[in-house]
Amino acid sequence: MKTIEKYLINSGIKPSYQRIRILSYLMDKKNHPTVEMIHKELLHDIPTLSKTTVYNTLKQFVEKGITQIINIEDHKTRYDADISTHGHFKCLNCNKIYDFRFDNKSLEISDIEDFDFLQTHLYIKGICKKCKYLLNNKN
């Protein structure tokens, strides 16, 4: 049995063909896709794949804790199978989303000392290195 099937079973999810393919897509591409992107891409291989299945599957992945939601865009949800604590940078020029690491421990927070933290989401927007270079040299 493939690793990914074991991973699904260990997470309490029956490894149906669609679920395996959707999780594989997330893990291989690491591109923080929208539902639209996943559906469009997998439709090439699974012509009957319904968008509802993609929604249901991702919802289940999030509930079981093997996928996290990224709300860096204004109106559409993106998904990430990397559930480790890390940040997301969105380039406002090329719209690419980059992963980055940050030290959660060093984060100095005031005002909410006695609160229980369950999830930390850090989103930074700006201009990525590539675009910075391109923009500087296009005169």
Written as six digits, the tokens of 115 are 């609160």
Binding track, positions 16-55, relative to a second copy; x by CB under 8 A: ----------------------------------------
From first CA to last CA, the distance across the chain in angstroms is 56
Q: How do strand 78-80 and strand 68-70 relate by DSSP bridges?
A: antiparallel
Q: Scan residues 27-46 and list those touching DNA (CB under 7 A).
A: 34-36, 46
DSSP state, 91? E
* Binding of DNA by 121 (CB under 7 A): no
List the single partner that 38 binds among a second copy, DNA, none, CB under 5 to 8 Å by kind: none
Among 22, 35, 66, 128, binds a second copy (CB under 8 A): 128
CB closer to DNA out of 35 and 72: 35
Going 64 to 22 to 9 to 48, the CA torsion angle's sign is positive
Is the separation of the CB atoms in 93 and 135 below 8 Å? yes
* Binding of DNA by 7 (CB under 7 A): no
* Binding of a second copy by 101 (CB under 8 A): yes
List the single partner that 5 binds among DNA, a second copy, none, CB under 5 to 8 Å by kind: none
- Name the residue among 84, 88, 118, 85 with its Cα closest to residue 104: 85
